[in-house]
Structure 1
């Protein structure tokens, strides 16, 4: 009868010899460093999430800009569903006028125009140097109607903004669904405005329509939560940085 012991396994008192205990392996020297790096990265990610700018007051324009004053023309879409965000946009403009004296030149100007099927002035052209005392003096006496057209707004901007000879930047807050995005007419009005830069701010998740893109193929684009004044004001800061050639940094 053969023994069923495995080869070379000794027996002690009829029992197999206990297998020797294995010594625990050493922790690699680099493991603590890796763990520390992972924890540091996680901590930095959490800090980034909790310290993201929430409104324009949380950021500043950084870097050099040309000494030439800039005339800023803000066009606000007040048609259709956008009309319900009137208070949000008004608050965003208020935040902008409080922020502008510390980030724009005193001789820069801001003009605010609302548009739908027609266009009306919400804030007359105001030098940034006067905003600290005047603030956002928005007028809601007139309504721009119910349709959606961008050309009346550009026409009105050429009529009501002073012919200073300074470059202008146009910032449009809209979903870009307009009925009159004619490329030739739009290009002519932009040339008359002397506006080498234009930024369209669209609601988060809303794309630019083909007709709008054809009319303004060179524009800069930013996105914002249409229901958030802080998000909208941050997008305006991004548009201004595009116009001045600066960058947006956190305070």
Structure 2
């Protein structure tokens, strides 16, 4: 399948590393003009360099802004007032006990993981609809369907993304704009690599081997029995953003290695 996004402009939030950077590279490789985003100017510039190194000749711009607040979202829209593809990748996570989280913690998680996508979709999708073409993707998680007891806050936010993406797809019915959610499972991102590094060294394992052991221990329902790569997640996202995915909308598309034990 040859995906051609020439002439399309794509914004990927939180795309200076990990899954977000892999998505940015994948979209650039398909011909899209890519806007990378991060909170700091130096990391944004580094991501631009990473994309160009992987895709020589790519057209890449960047906006440094914190999408976890309305001000940061407004700054992105002011800098880049029109996009054809919006990938809402920004998110924060980490194990925290339910009783340790304050109201402020819950509000911050909701702002970053949910409201960032709401604000940017509200800003961009009306023009997409007027143009008769657009793609919106929310990067959710298998935790949206399988809430972890040590990350209830994270699972709740990812479930909320599914509700927003499904409802927005209905709202944009018949416009040529598709809205979908992609649900990664355990993924060998920079964060997981760092978390596993010390234990891997002690056990004499590679990071990939340590990640596989982690998946078997903490996600025993995994059919894949290893962590996905960031590129494997990005492949699904690039497809959903493509013209070939024109009949896929309102969907929750799992790249979880079969962790969620359901055939639906």
Specify the TM-score bucket, using the shorter chain as the normaliser. Answer: 0.3 to 0.5
- Structure ranking higher on relative contact order (CA contacts 8 Å, 6+ apart): 1
Q: TM-score, normalised on structure 2?
A: 0.42
Larger Rg: 1
Higher strand fraction: Structure 1 or Structure 2?
Answer: 1
Q: TM-score, normalised on structure 1?
A: 0.44
Higher helix fraction: Structure 1 or Structure 2?
Answer: 2
